[in-house]
Amino acid sequence: MPKREPVLVASGLTKSYADLVALAPLDLKLRHGEMVVLVGHNGSGKSTFLGLCAALLEATDGDLTVAGHAPGSFEARAATSYLADQPVLYDDLSLLEHLEYIARMHGVEDWEDRSYELMDRLGLTARADGLPSRFSRGLRQKAAIALAMVRPFDLLLVDEPFVGLDPQGRAAMVELLAESHRGGAAVIVATHQLDFVQKAQRCLALRDGELVFDGPANGANVDQLVLGEN
For the chain, give the mean pLDDT. 92
Which pLDDT score is estimated for 202?
94
CA distance 25 to 112: 43
pLDDT in tens, 104-133: 999 999 999 999 999 999 999 999 999 998
Reply yes or no on whether the pLDDT at 3 is more than 50. Answer: yes
The confidence score (pLDDT) of residue 146 equals 97
Three-class SS state of 160: coil
Distance CA 91, CA 15 (A): 32
Instruction: Say whether pTM exceeds 0.85.
Output: yes
- Indicate the helix (H) or strand (E) that contains 210: strand 210-216
Question: By 3-state DSSP, what share of the chain in percent is helix, strand and coil, each rounded to 5?
Answer: 35, 25, 40
Residue 48, CB-side half-sphere exposure with 13 Å CA sphere: 26
Give the side-chain half-sphere CA count within 13 A for 187: 28
Q: Which of 42, 11, 39, 38 is nearest to 25 (CA)?
A: 11
Contacts of 74 (CB under 8 A, 6+ apart): none
Query: What is the band of 147 on the pLDDT scale with cuts at 50, 70, 90?
Result: very high
C-alpha to C-alpha distances, 73 to 5, 139, 191, nearest whole angstrom = 18, 31, 27
Each residue's pLDDT tens digit, 176-215: 999 999 999 999 999 988 888 888 999 999 999 999 999 9
Q: At what angle do helices 95-105 and 111-122 cross, to 10 degrees?
A: 130
What pLDDT, on a 0 to 100 scale, did the predictor assign at position 220?
Answer: 39
Assign 163 a pLDDT band (cuts: 50, 70, 90).
confident
| Euclidean distance between CA atoms 184 and 179, whole angstroms | 9
Per DSSP, the residues of 19-40 read TEEEEEEEEEEE-TT-EEEEE-
Strands 20-30, 8-17: pairing kind:
antiparallel
- Dist CA 28 CA 86 (whole Å): 26
Q: Which CATH superfamily is domain 8-227 in?
A: P-loop containing nucleotide triphosphate hydrolases (3.40.50.300)
For 124-131, the CB contacts below 8 A with 24+ separation are: 124/95, 127/95, 128/94, 128/95, 128/96, 129/94, 129/95, 129/96, 130/94, 130/95, 131/91, 131/92, 131/93, 131/94, 131/95
